[in-house]
Structure 1
Amino acid sequence: MRRALVDLLQRNAEHAETFQSKFDDVQDAQHPDVVTVCCSDSRVLQDHIWGNDEPGDIFTCGNIGNRVVQRTEGGDVVSGDVLYPVAHTGTETIVVVGHSGCGAVTATYDALTDGLSDAPGIEHCLDVLKPYLEPGVHELPSDLDRTGAINHLVEYNVDRQVEFLLDSDEIADDVDVVGVVYDFQDVYGGRRGEVHVVNVDGETSVETLREEYPDIASRVDRLWEY
């Protein structure tokens, strides 16, 4: 038995001790206010980035590249992971969470620019991202280095995922769709671990967002207004 699993079980025992009473109100049903779609990168602590330790508050989805798109024989649709809480638990806010230095965006960028490939399961995920990121690769400012290009594409990917949700008939018009970037690499110049709002219901202008949402004006920022 690897020590990693033993450590996990020990930490779970501590978790269970702390959370004994926290499930009292949500044992039979859930009505989370928000569904978040995060990258499954180990550095993105999906509940902790919001300071959340209350069961039932946030419906959390995770995959490489924070994708909201699911590929089917009939075409691309909103992923069931994201759609479920909106359709069945009354959730009215969706937050797409990209992050600085995203590995899935990096791999997609490499596939589009250098033709690099990966294992079939990973290729499937990248193939879903490619058509949404490819236009952004061609629009990148010419003076960017590789790191800068990838972080610009992180924002671009968040924008495309938000756009897909807004364009889908499966997401009602009264559902708020927000795009953010979680930064732990000093890309935005704030504190490590801060979330930066880059898109609200399709609006990406920093100036406009700050004017429309003064309560969060200090959290609105972008690297790229294309």
Structure 2
Amino acid sequence: MHRTVIELLERNAAHADEFRSRFDDVQDAQHPAAVTVCCSDSRVLQDLMWGNDTPGHLFTVGNIGNRVVQRTDAGEAVSGDVLYPVEHTGTRTVVVVGHTGCGAVTATYDHLTEGLSEPAGIEHCVGLLAPRLEAGVEALPDDLSRTEAVNHLVEYNVDRQVEFLRESDDVPDDVTVVGVVYDFQDVYAERRGEVHVVNVDGETDVGTLRDEHPEVDERVDRLWTY
């Protein structure tokens, strides 16, 4: 057995010892408070970023580019792994979590600006992001570095994923959709690991968001207003 797997199993044994009794209330059903759509980047600590150690509290979805869109025979639709808790467990909050330095956004940016290609599986994911980021790439300020451009597009991508959810007939009107960026590169502030709110139900103006949500006004921030 590879040493990495052995180490994972050892850590799982400690996890099982600690969590043994925490599954008592979720044996037969789940009613998560929110579904989070995170990038599957290894630096994005999908539960730990929220301090979550409660089974059943969050329905966590991960994929490259924190996408909510999938292709079906009938066309594009809200991804089933995002829609499931909304449809079946009563969850009424969706949080789309982008992150600084996102590799999927970087790959899409390179594809749109330089025509770079990827293996078929990655190309499929880029193909879901590219139509949503193309206008953002064209609107980027001219004086940005490549790194800055990518981080601006991280916000833009979050906005487009929020928009897709809000415009879908499959997502009820009483579902709140929040877009955030997880920052581990000191882009927003020198507080690595902090989550910054950039979009609430399609509203992206920082001043408006702070006025409407004074309880979290210090956590509302954006790099880019376009």
Task: Quickly name the TM-score band, shorter chain normalised.
Answer: over 0.9
Deviation at 1:217, TM superposition (A): 0.1
- The reply to whether residue 86 of structure 1 matches residue 86 of structure 2 is yes
Deviation at 1:180, TM superposition (A): 0.0
- Tell me the SS of whatever aligns to 1:97: strand
Deviation at 1:167, TM superposition (A): 0.2
Match of 2:39 in 1: 39
Q: 1:20-39 to 2 correspondence within 5 Å? A: 20-39=20-39
> 2:205 corresponds to which residue?
205
> Letter of the aligned partner of 1:108 in structure 2?
T
Map of 1:178 onto structure 2: 178
Mean Cα displacement is larger for which, 181-190 or 96-105?
Answer: 181-190
Counting matched residue pairs gives 226
**Cα deviation, residue 74, structure 1:** 1.4
* Residue of structure 2 equivalent to 1:98: 98
Distance in structure 2 (CA, Å) of the matches to 1:84 and 1:167: 17
Counterpart for residue 191 of structure 1: 191
Matched residues in 2 for 1:35 and 1:135: separation?
A: 28
How far off is 1:190 after superposition?
Answer: 3.7
Spell out structure 1 runs of 4+ moving beyond 3 A.
none
> Offset of 1:209 from its aligned partner?
0.2
- Aligned partners of 2:133, 2:71: CA distance in 1, in Å? 16
TM-score between both structures, scaled by the size of structure 2: 0.99
CA distance in 1, matches of 2:97, 2:131: 19
**How many Å separate the matches in 1 of 2:20 and 2:96?**
30
Deviations 1:161-194 (A, max 9, x none): 0000000000001100000000000100240000
**How many Å separate the matches in 2 of 1:73 and 1:17?**
45
Displacement, 1:73?
A: 2.1
> What SS does the corresponding residue of 1:25 show, helix, strand or coil?
helix
The residue that corresponds to 1:218 in the other structure is 218
AA paired with 1:42? S
Q: Which moved more, 1:181-190 or 1:193-202?
A: 181-190
Tell me the distance in 2 between the aligned counterparts of 1:25 and 1:94. 23
Structure 2: segments with no counterpart, 5+ residues: none
- The amino acid that maps onto 1:112 is L
Distance 1:203 1:135 in 2: 19
Q: TM-score, normalised by structure 1?
A: 0.99
Structure 1, unpaired ranges of 5+: none
SS at match of 2:24: coil
Secondary structure at the residue paired with 2:26? coil
RMSD: 0.5
Q: How far 1:9 moved relative to its partner?
A: 0.2
Counterpart residue type for residue 110 of structure 1: D
Aligned to 2:11: 11
Partner of 1:60: 60
Offset from partner CA, 1:4-49 (integer Å, 9 cap, x none): 0000000000000000000000010000010000000000010000
